[in-house]
Amino acid sequence: MRYSNVCIEAFAHSLPDEVLTTEALETMLLPLYSRLKLPEGRLELLTGIRERRLWPRDRTPGEQSVETARQLFERSGIDPNRVGALIHGSVCRDYLEPATACGVHHALGLPRNCAVFDISNACLGILSGVIQIANMIELGQIEAGIVVGTESSRSLLEATVRHLNTDLSIDRKSVKSAFASLTIGSGSAAVLLTSTVISRTGHRLLGGAVSAQTEHCALCRSETDQSGGDAMNPLMQTDSETLMQEGVRAAAAAFEPFLSEVGWSRSDIDRTFCHQVGKAHQQLLFESLELPPEINFSTLEYLGNTGSAALPTAASIGIEQGFTKPGDRIALLGIGSGINVVMLGVQI
Which residues are catalytic, by number?
A: 97, 123
In the 8-state DSSP scheme, what is residue 39? Answer: P
For 68-129, give the DSSP string. Answer: HHHHHHHHH---GGG--EEEE--S--S-SSS-HHHHHHHHHT--TTSEEEE--BTBTHHHHH
Q: Are 122 and 338 in contact (CB under 8 A)?
A: yes
Distance CA 104, CA 124 (A): 20
Distance CA 252, CA 247 (A): 9
Rounded to 5 degrees, what are φ and ψ at 60? -85, 155
Across the chain, which distance is largest between two alpha carbons, in Å?
63
Q: For the chain, how many residues are written?
A: 348
Q: Which residues of 267-297 are buried (b: 16+ CB within 10 A; e: fewer)?
A: eebebbbbbbbbbebbebbbeebebeeebbb
Question: Residue 220 forms beta bridges with which residues?
Answer: 238
Beta-carbon contacts of residue 269 (< 8 Å; ≥ 6 apart): 291, 295, 329, 330, 331
Distance CA 153, CA 226 (A): 14
